[in-house]
Amino acid sequence: MGSQVKVSCKCGLNKSILIGGGMESSSYECFFPCFCKNCSDVVEVNLLDLNPKCPECGEENIIAFDNRLLIGEKGKQVIESWHAFELGRELLLTNGTYKCPKCNTQNLRFSMGDLYWD
The residue segments making up the domain with residue 87 are 2-117
Angle at Cα 65 formed by Cα 62 and Cα 68, nearest 5°? 105
CA dihedral 97, 32, 85, 79 (to 10 degrees): 40
Residue 106 CA to residue 96 CA, distance in Å, equals 9
Q: Report the half-sphere exposure of 65 (CA within 13 A, side-chain side).
A: 38
Contacts of 105 (CB under 8 A, 6+ apart): 9, 10, 11, 99
Structural domain tally of the chain? 1
pLDDT tens digit at each of 118 positions of the chain: 678 999 999 999 999 999 887 767 667 788 999 999 999 999 999 999 989 999 999 999 999 999 999 999 999 999 998 877 777 788 999 999 999 999 999 999 999 987 554 5
